[in-house]
Amino acid sequence: MTMNKIALVIEDDFDAATIFATALGKAGFETEVISEGDAAVARLETVTPALILLDLHLPRVVGTEILAGIRANERLKDTRVIVTTADSRMGESVRPQADLVLLKPTTFSQVRDLASRLVPGMRKTATAKLENPS
Amino acid sequence: MLSTIAKPFQPLLTVRASDPEDARRRKLLNILLVGVMLITLIALVTIIVSAVMGVAGEPWEVMLLFGMAVGALIGVAIIFAINRYRAGWLASALFLLLLTAVITFGDDAREVVAGRSLFMFAIPITMASVLIRPYASFILAGVTAVLISVIAISINIIPNTPAILSFMILALVSWLSARSLEHALSDLRAINRELDQRVAQRTQDLSDALSREQAESSKNQAILESIADGVIVFDKRGRAIVANASVAQLMGHSPEEIMQNNIESLMAKDVDEADREMTIKLLQDESLRTPSFKFRWGTKTLSVSFATVRSVSGVIGNVMVCRDFTREAELDRMKSAFLSMTSHELRTPLNAILGYSDMLQEEVYGSITSEQRGTIRRITANTSRMLGMVNNLLDQAQIEAGKLAIHVEPFAIENLIDDLRSVATVLAENKGLDLTCTIAPEVPSTLASDSQRLHQILLNLVGNAVKFTQKGSVGVRVFLPDADHWAFAVADTGAGIPTEAQSYIFEPFRQVDDPITRNNIGSGLGLSIVKQLTHLLGGSIQLKSLVGQGSTFTVILPLAPIEEAQTA
């Protein structure tokens, strides 16, 4: 059985999406970028990603709704979700449903390293040394 | 009946005179003259009839009587004219003298002084006191005495002394009664005059009071109408009893529609339910009132304040003052929109620059030389600084505009520290510093405050600590200083802050004037914002620092949740 390496980047900002997608690519994922909420909902009906990187501020369907949809879907129970947001209150409110909440600004290396740790079997990168930061 | 007949002749009899006594006497004389005239006319008719029937005496006697009657009529007419157009006393005197003369020469001399005509003299004597003056009866009595004495002597009889004395007594009685009458009348007139004056005074007072009242009321009305703010007063039952033009315009109702209506029905169409309920509560309950309450009324935004209306007799009702806040609300909204747009539009590209620089540095697009790496580091460092400055300026602007909202909610202290670690570890490691974070075991796992603002404060303090520390460590410690507070301390082993600078580093745009810090130029807003945010969260900040040994910033916050508030 081949390993599921599919990652979705759901992010409407082109640059942020590019950086995140590249970071996930570096972490060994097959990455796909979706920039609109409704398109993301539609895509999630056909694909079962190992990881979703989800922005909360999206056009048409907001991130919190997508997250609730993912968590309500039995097929997506193994899918790991990293939420990125600039709003810590929003981040706080979705923390129980997300596997990880990253407050923007989120850096390239942060995404790359954390994603590879979150999904077991992904290649460890040289700088992934945040095992126990304190 | 008689007065009805006499009425048309009243103007003829009445004589206008400034002295009411004079007028009365002259009117009296006129009445007498009319009486005499009627008697004379009857006499004239009798003479003519007897002459025609042949029962009269000699023709010369008839002619004499006729002439006398006509003469009497002419005399009456003359006296009437004098009475009406000249002096009343003159007319009366003439009349009385004429009457006396008629009495004196109208009969046989013996009869006049001692017989049937003697008593006739009583008539002019009595009349004189009424027609001329009270004392005039004495003059007439004197004249009569002289006349009858002279006539008596001329016909050789002794003057009738008892009769003369009787006339004198009659004059005295007439004088007394006329005088009493005049006094009574004059008293009555005085009383009347006083009464008239009093009535006039009262009328004037009332009219003054009324016009004062009207002036006051119309002044108040004018003031009320000219106020640009809407003013509406509700009575204790909640019905509108006063409303000015502005409130009618603001509410979009006519003043007639507003009067006697209650606030519920006035708001029914244009105000949403929550605002309606709040307004009713504020109107009814004095204790809930805030300086102003803003809500949308149709297309307008109103800022409304309430007050209880009291008079000496107690509470009359409540007044609601409405101001058109539409433009301010729109500006407010535009400002907020501008701030949030600017903040997003400025931050997004800076984040992208940071992301791409990070990618280059991580050799995503191939290996880089050490010069390239150094350059990329400079790009990253400068962009980070700019991002920090943008964030600080926007925060400062929001604090100054009173727009920085505080949202108190429960949060896990563990998560707050994790978030900090995920960002600050990289900063510390880049400078070769150790970052340690500890949470004392007695600190509750869940606290209530604004976690986003706490994150900002922590990041700012840790960022500063890293920035000003060249070697050693940066430590974050969460602990309980006393039973009512929790605190976090950010300690570094950096250059330290001189004592004199400790007093001003919390002011906006102030930094320690030191060659070392020149290399770490920032906006100078970081600590100012930290201090203001700490205050907004109900806490305080302390600084302990020794030059060369490092600094410790301690933020102390209440354990009990504070009220949500906005800077204002």
* CATH number of residue B276's parent domain: 3.30.450.20
Which of B384, B403, B422 is the last residue before a domain boundary? B403
HSE at residue B362, side-chain half, CA atoms within 13 A, is 23
A134 vs B349, B355, B437: nearest CB:
B437
Question: Cβ–Cβ of B421/A89 closer than 8 Å?
Answer: no
**C-alpha to C-alpha distance for B287 and B268, rounded to whole angstroms:** 25
Tell whether B424 and B392 lie within a shared domain. Answer: no
Q: What is the pLDDT of residues B271-305, one digit of tens each?
A: 888 888 888 888 888 887 777 788 888 888 888 88
CATH number at residue A53: 3.40.50.2300
Average pLDDT over residues B125-129: 86
Computed over every residue of chain B, the mean pLDDT equals 84
B411 vs A92, A107, A130: nearest CB:
A92
**C-alpha to C-alpha distance for A110 and B359, rounded to whole angstroms:** 11
Tell whether B468 and B319 lie within a shared domain. Answer: no
**C-alpha to C-alpha distance for A133 and B415, rounded to whole angstroms:** 14
Average pLDDT over residues B333-342: 74
In a domain, B219, yes or no: no
In a domain, A28, yes or no: yes
Beta carbons of B446 and B415 less than 8 angstroms apart: no
User: How far A39 CA sits from the closest chain B CA (Å)?
Assistant: 23
Chain B residues whose CB is inside 8 A of the A22 CB are: 359, 364
Question: Cβ–Cβ of A15/B355 closer than 8 Å?
Answer: yes
Average pLDDT over residues B192-217: 91
In a domain, A63, yes or no: yes
pLDDT of residue B112 exceeding 70, the answer is yes
Query: Would an 8 Å CB–CB cutoff place B395 in contact with chain A?
Result: no
Q: Are strands A80-85 and A51-55 parallel, antiparallel or unpaired?
A: parallel
**C-alpha to C-alpha distance for B410 and A92, rounded to whole angstroms:** 10
In a domain, A132, yes or no: no
Q: What is the pLDDT of residues A72-118, one digit of tens each?
A: 999 999 999 999 987 766 777 888 899 998 877 788 888 998 888 88
pLDDT of residue B6 exceeding 50, the answer is yes
Three-state SS string across B326-387, please?
HHHHHHHHHHHHHHHHHHHHHHHHHHHHHHHHHHHHCCCCCCCCHHHHHHHHHHHHHHHHHH
Q: Which of B105-119, B493-507, B548-562 has the highest mean pLDDT?
A: B548-562
> What are the structure tokens assigned to B265, written together?
């029905």
Beta bridge partners of B307: B319
Q: Which residues contact B130 (CB under 8 A, 6 or more apart)?
A: B25, B28, B174, B178, B181
pLDDT of residue B178 exceeding 60, the answer is yes
B355 vs A16, A92, A102: nearest CB:
A16
Query: Would an 8 Å CB–CB cutoff place B364 in contact with chain A?
Result: yes
Beta carbons of B381 and B387 less than 8 angstroms apart: no
The enclosing H or E element of A131 equals none
Minimum CA–CA partner of A27 in chain B: B364
Tell me, what's the pLDDT at A131? Answer: 39
Locate the DSSP E strands across B193-244.
Answer: 230-235, 240-243
Query: Would an 8 Å CB–CB cutoff place B414 in contact with chain A?
Result: no
Of B111 and B141, more confident: B141
Average pLDDT over residues B242-260: 86
Tracing tokens 């968590």 back to the chain, one arrives at A71
Tell whether B465 and B481 lie within a shared domain. Answer: yes
Chain B residues whose CB is inside 8 A of the A19 CB are: 352, 355-356, 358-359
Chain B residues whose CB is inside 8 A of the A107 CB are: 354-355, 358, 426
**C-alpha to C-alpha distance for B306 and B70, rounded to whole angstroms:** 97
Q: Which of B31-45, B262-276, B382-396, B482-496 has the lowest mean pLDDT?
A: B382-396
User: How far B401 CA sits from the closest chain A CA (Å)?
Assistant: 21
Tell whether B311 and B384 lie within a shared domain. Answer: no
Amino acid at B561: P
Chain B residues whose CB is inside 8 A of the A23 CB are: 359
For residue B49, give the 3-state DSSP assignment: helix
φ, ψ of residue B90 in degrees (nearest 5): -65, -45
**C-alpha to C-alpha distance for A24 and B442, rounded to whole angstroms:** 40
Tell me, what's the pLDDT at A129? Answer: 40
Beta bridge partners of B409: B449
DSSP string, B393-460: HHHHHHHHTT--B---EEEEHHHHHHHHHHHHHHHHHHTT-EEEEEE-TTS-SEEEE-HHHHHHHHHH
CA–CA distances in Å: residue B441 to residues B267, B444, B481: 55, 8, 13
In a domain, A131, yes or no: no
Average pLDDT over residues B70-82: 86
Question: Which one, of B450, B368, B370, lies nearest residue B410 by Cα?
Answer: B450
> What are the structure tokens assigned to B153, written together?
């002597």
Give how many domains chain B has, as a whole number: 4
Beta carbons of B537 and B450 less than 8 angstroms apart: yes
Tell whether B177 and B29 lie within a shared domain. Answer: yes
Tell me, what's the pLDDT at B440? Answer: 93
| Interface predicted TM-score (ipTM) of this complex, two decimals | 0.81
Average pLDDT over residues B465-490: 91
Interface of B with A in 430-449 (CB under 8 A): 435-438
CA–CA distances in Å: residue B260 to residues B30, B188, B313, B354, B427: 69, 56, 22, 66, 69
Tell whether B564 and B422 lie within a shared domain. Answer: yes
Beta carbons of B566 and B403 less than 8 angstroms apart: yes
A108 vs B359, B409, B451: nearest CB:
B359
Which of A100, A116, A118, A134 to substitute to test the interface with B, most B CBs within 10 Å? Answer: A134
Chain B residues whose CB is inside 8 A of the A86 CB are: 347
Which of B194, B214, B242 is the last residue before a domain boundary? B194
Q: How does residue B392 score in pLDDT terms, banded at 50, 70 and 90?
A: confident
In a domain, A129, yes or no: no
pLDDT of residue A130 exceeding 70, the answer is no
A15 vs B352, B362, B387: nearest CB:
B352
Question: Cβ–Cβ of A134/B351 closer than 8 Å?
Answer: no
A133 vs B354, B358, B425: nearest CB:
B425
Average pLDDT over residues B128-154: 86
In a domain, A49, yes or no: yes
Which of A108, A112, A125 to substitute to test the interface with B, most B CBs within 10 Å? Answer: A108
Chain B residues whose CB is inside 8 A of the A21 CB are: none
> What are the structure tokens assigned to B360, written together?
């280059």
Tell me, what's the pLDDT at B252? Answer: 85
Of B226 and B58, more confident: B226
Tell whether B399 and B350 lie within a shared domain. Answer: yes
pLDDT of residue B82 exceeding 80, the answer is yes
pLDDT of residue B2 exceeding 80, the answer is no
Please count the other Cβ atoms lying within 10 Å of the Cβ belonging to residue B24: 18
Q: Which residues of B137-155 are buried (b: 16+ CB within 10 A; e: fewer)?
A: bbbbbebbbebbbebbeee
Question: Cβ–Cβ of B387/A105 closer than 8 Å?
Answer: yes
B451 vs A22, A86, A92: nearest CB:
A92
pLDDT of residue B43 exceeding 90, the answer is no
Question: Cβ–Cβ of B362/A26 closer than 8 Å?
Answer: yes
In a domain, A124, yes or no: no
Beta bridge partners of B410: B448
Query: Would an 8 Å CB–CB cutoff place B411 in contact with chain A?
Result: yes
Query: Would an 8 Å CB–CB cutoff place B473 in contact with chain A?
Result: no
**C-alpha to C-alpha distance for B397 and B391, rounded to whole angstroms:** 10
Q: Which of A17-21, A37-41, A98-102, B494-498 has the lowest mean pLDDT?
A: B494-498
Question: Which one, of B105, B210, B117, lies nearest residue B163 by Cα?
Answer: B117
Q: Is residue B197 packed enough to be buried (19+ CB in 10 Å), middle (13-18) or exposed (0-12)?
A: exposed
The enclosing H or E element of B45 equals helix B20-53
Question: Cβ–Cβ of B359/A105 closer than 8 Å?
Answer: no
Question: Cβ–Cβ of A89/B425 closer than 8 Å?
Answer: no
pLDDT of residue B113 exceeding 60, the answer is yes
Specify the pTM. 0.46
Chain A residues whose CB is inside 8 A of the B436 CB are: 134
Average pLDDT over residues B182-200: 90
Q: How does residue A134 score in pLDDT terms, banded at 50, 70 and 90?
A: very low
Please count the other Cβ atoms lying within 10 Å of the Cβ belonging to residue B227: 14
Q: How does residue B467 score in pLDDT terms, banded at 50, 70 and 90?
A: confident
Helix axes A108-118, A14-26, angle to 10 degrees: 50
Beta carbons of B118 and B152 less than 8 angstroms apart: no
Question: Cβ–Cβ of B362/A108 closer than 8 Å?
Answer: yes
- Chain A and chain B share a number of CB contacts under 8 A equal to 77
Tell me, what's the pLDDT at A2? Answer: 67
pLDDT of residue B514 exceeding 70, the answer is no
Residue-range definition of the domain harbouring residue B501: 406-568
Helix axes B451-467, B413-430, angle to 10 degrees: 20
Average pLDDT over residues B509-513: 64
Q: Which residues contact B7 (CB under 8 A, 6 or more apart)?
A: none
Residue-range definition of the domain harbouring residue A15: 6-118
Which of B270, B303, B324 is the last residue before a domain boundary? B324
Tell me, what's the pLDDT at B56? Answer: 66
**C-alpha to C-alpha distance for A83 and B186, rounded to whole angstroms:** 113
Give how many domains chain A has, as a whole number: 1
Radius of gyration of chain A (CA): 14
Question: Cβ–Cβ of B452/A107 closer than 8 Å?
Answer: no
Beta carbons of B450 and B410 less than 8 angstroms apart: no
In a domain, A1, yes or no: no
Tell whether B92 and B49 lie within a shared domain. Answer: yes
User: How far B268 CA sits from the closest chain A CA (Å)?
Assistant: 34
Tell whether B377 and B451 lie within a shared domain. Answer: no
Q: Which residues contact A69 (CB under 8 A, 6 or more apart)?
A: A41, A44
Tell whether B345 and B289 lie within a shared domain. Answer: no
Tell whether B258 and B387 lie within a shared domain. Answer: no
Question: Cβ–Cβ of B356/A16 closer than 8 Å?
Answer: no
Tell me, what's the pLDDT at B566? Answer: 45
For residue B488, give the 3-state DSSP assignment: strand
**C-alpha to C-alpha distance for B487 and B181, rounded to whole angstroms:** 111
Tell me, what's the pLDDT at B92? Answer: 86
CATH number at residue B367: 1.10.287
Tell me, what's the pLDDT at B501? Answer: 82
- Look up residue B266 and give its DSSP letter: H
Question: Which one, of B444, B378, B389, lies nearest residue B413 by Cα?
Answer: B444
Tell whether B366 and B290 lie within a shared domain. Answer: no
